[in-house]
Structure 1
């Protein structure tokens, strides 16, 4: 018991919460960093890799499966539409677009409050509540018999799903160093790309249940795909880890290692950061006032406008090329597999060379080429060419997304500011889903000039915004390097207590931004 208490005390010290740091007494040296480095040197490279693999196997597959389920449940309306829902619910005019749109209103509104709740209670409690809630709503969606019932169900699905993605992405940032996050996030987010293929395959099979219990095939799509998260949620509490300091699947010694390497490695400078800080009004306010978070929303919009409109429309595009409903469902699969592959390649490459913005700009450039192709092709006379450009669109829209989210996550500290800032990015960014759901007009099928044109324009804006962010972060890093060279590290440290440097987070003169 004494050994356990000592380890817990060490964990508290790593996160800047010991009594000495709270007193405001300036330390004579950076003893905490020296001690943390000493702990890290006790581990061999093989031991370090083994610990990180333990974290990987516990966290990444679990989050990936959950996001796959979430994305299938939000996007299966596109499959249900061509499986009979449109006729049964009389989705004439813009009714389908309204059903798509209403999801994003609560989805955007509740993301920031959800991440604040996440910092107040354990993720292993809050995330299962979210998963159970959206599974219940999705299952009940299979019982709707009117258009208005569908709209109400989509609204509550948005409420239930709102908190999961910002919670999951934030959770990754407190377990990994900055140039380890994107590759893990890509595996997690690749589930979104894979969900399009998975959803199409499931819909193809489930649709054949039409008539069982007097229900249409589209209703069975909602019911069966909704029961899955309900079952998963009931077991999730026992498997989802909260944070390194309390991880039961790690030994005390391994917890110290994870905490120290995150504290020393995530700031990418000479100072440490903390993930144990509490939510405060000051950090919430500074997250909202950071113009770079708002600038990052533009490339996020490029992803959300493009992908939500694309996933909801691509089955219809393929069907109007002359294919049957079943074949159109199956033809979506290779498109999403390419999107998933591009996401993984870019993320591993980005972490390897420690760059984010070039991959954001490059991905959108590919999407721009795809949208130009779709606008130029005389639909539906060249189905093969139309199909080819859909691959470019998918690859170009999916691969920049993790780079945008990771860029913001890498550049916000401490963790309470990061939790709010990432939720703000995702919340406002996901409002793009409203736009994406209302730019593909049925009257313009199969050319969809407005949909492809708006998506093209926002991708171009995303390229420009990424370039501005790159220049801004480069300038700030250069100014801090010049300050350090001019005044010296010791003179700068003498101006602050260690706790003050932790509280400054990414505003610390020792913090360096990812570009």
Structure 2
């Protein structure tokens, strides 16, 4: 019976008419101009390069528009907190930002299920931009702390909110690539923000402003126009979108695509819904998965590599240059994980997660031993870059596991990012203490344990997901 379900085709506008079956496996067009979409898209070798090659011209045009909007937003995501860098004496401001960010994430994602994302997210981004330039006028530490807290609240809407939007538009064979590209393009934005930051410091004294004030002015000049553009370009979610760049036929197409994925529409929060969400394993296991991922990459996120290079007597230029190789590896592996997950593994997310965990175990075991050949130590620091690329896959998996309930999906995505930040706020203080650099005996050994747990949790989620599918299959057959 399963094979018969896979062969079903559904028409975007009228389910009462039978679409013509395409021998190429692509969506076909009926005599009445209606686009047929296969429930399980067939793929050829071309889809391993880019998934739209195997789709109909109508879907290709629709996805091109959608991708263009998402890549633009992803690029800007790196031009945010990266510009707000402070000296060690101002660490309290970073703490205030973190507290605001953590407190805002889950409420923000819940609001996205009630308010149009194209209104809520740009509003928060405009607020973020305006408050950033106001930092130039602060005269006391208290003023800085209050502004930083509110800036954190405003910024909390962006990353989990955009991941929620990405998960509202793409099908299983498309989702990991877009989610991972969104994450990777943020890294590109961070690089550009670094160049802007360097240029802002050269403006010290211009028009009576100091370099750090020009830093915030430049920040707002870059971010405010893009934040405002979100009111016109963010597509909301398919069921309520009013995006001017989509035709009525494309909106109908987007709704049918999500229907075929089992992606639920927005619905009210009720006591029964909340009980169902918090009695499900989804929220607990996915949150745990993301905590283990986010806090298990210390060899990459902490200054471990630069501090070792410094202890070995390398120059300042070399200390800043060589660790960027690890960042390049992170971007490359992020894209490899996305492409193989969507195409080679037919939407399975766990293989890349397990692989990254195994590589981290190899690297961190070696670094825990520490007394290893220098060439291998270099290799291990580069291997740390293999662990940073599964953020998008984790969110893609969450979108798929929570497809049946839109509100659960929004809540889980927000909780994943928030819980990871909560742990990240205190764990490095215990295991990545600067007095233990560059050997970090606690940091590397703890990272081994986190990688082992990451693999274990991924396999448990895989088991629970398969069991869930088996329970749902009879109901799906009955509906057909």
Report TM bin, short chain: 0.7 to 0.9
Higher helix share: 1
Separation in 2, partners of 1:176, 1:37 = 24
Deviations 1:209-264 (A, max 9, x none): 45556766555445423442222112221122123343332222222222112202
| Number of the residue aligned with 1:345 | 336
CA distance 1:139–1:55, change in 2 (3 Å): farther
C-alpha RMSD of matched pairs (Å): 3.7
Q: Following superposition of structure 1 onto structure 2, how do residues 333-412 of structure 1 map, counting pairs within 5 Å?
A: 333-352=324-343, 353=345, 354-377=347-370, 387-396=378-387, 398-412=388-402
Residues 1:470 and 2:462 are matched in the alignment = yes
| Number of the residue aligned with 1:179 | 173
How far did 1:117 drift? 1.5
Match of 1:74 among 81, 92, 100: 81
How far did 1:365 drift? 1.9
Q: Following superposition of structure 1 onto structure 2, how do residues 93-492 of structure 1 map, counting pairs within 5 Å?
A: 96=91, 100-141=94-135, 152-195=146-189, 197-210=191-204, 212=206, 217=211, 220-245=214-239, 246=241, 247-264=243-260, 266-267=261-262, 273-306=263-296, 310-311=300-301, 313=303, 317=307, 320-321=310-311, 322=313, 328-352=319-343, 353=345, 354-377=347-370, 387-396=378-387, 398-412=388-402, 413-438=404-429, 439-481=431-473, 483=474, 489-490=477-478
Separation in 1, partners of 2:417, 2:98 = 11
CA contact (8 A) 1:339 1:391 kept: no
CA distance 1:76–1:458, change in 2 (3 Å): farther
CA distance 1:292–1:216, change in 2 (3 Å): same
Separation in 2, partners of 1:386, 1:149 = 45
CA distance 1:318–1:331, change in 2 (3 Å): farther
Further displaced range: 192-201 or 298-307 = 192-201
**Residue 113 of structure 2: SS of its match in structure 1?**
helix
Separation in 2, partners of 1:100, 1:201 = 21
Separation in 2, partners of 1:308, 1:104 = 18
User: Which structure 1 segments of 5+ residues have no match?
Assistant: 1-29, 268-272, 494-509, 511-515
Separation in 2, partners of 1:119, 1:143 = 36
User: Which structure 2 segments of 5+ residues have no match?
Assistant: 1-10, 21-26, 30-34, 38-52
CA contact (8 A) 2:128 2:155 kept: yes
CA contact (8 A) 1:36 1:260 kept: no
**Residue 73 of structure 2: SS of its match in structure 1?**
helix
CA contact (8 A) 2:401 2:465 kept: no
**Residue 447 of structure 1: SS of its match in structure 2?**
coil
After TM superposition, the score normalised by the length of structure 2 is 0.78
CA distance 1:385–1:220, change in 2 (3 Å): farther
Deviations 1:106-165 (A, max 9, x none): 322222211221122211111111212233344445666877666555433321111212
Separation in 2, partners of 1:106, 1:211 = 32
CA distance 1:231–1:480, change in 2 (3 Å): closer
How far did 1:451 drift? 3.2
| Number of the residue aligned with 1:27 | none
How far did 1:38 drift? 4.5
**Residue 407 of structure 1: SS of its match in structure 2?**
helix
CA distance 1:254–1:69, change in 2 (3 Å): closer
Deviations 1:300-324 (A, max 9, x none): 1123224588446368637735456
CA contact (8 A) 1:317 1:446 kept: yes
Number of residue equivalences: 437
Deviations 1:346-392 (A, max 9, x none): 1111011221112111112222333334334469x95x765543322
Separation in 2, partners of 1:211, 1:387 = 42
Separation in 1, partners of 2:264, 2:309 = 52
CA distance 1:62–1:420, change in 2 (3 Å): same
Separation in 1, partners of 2:203, 2:12 = 66
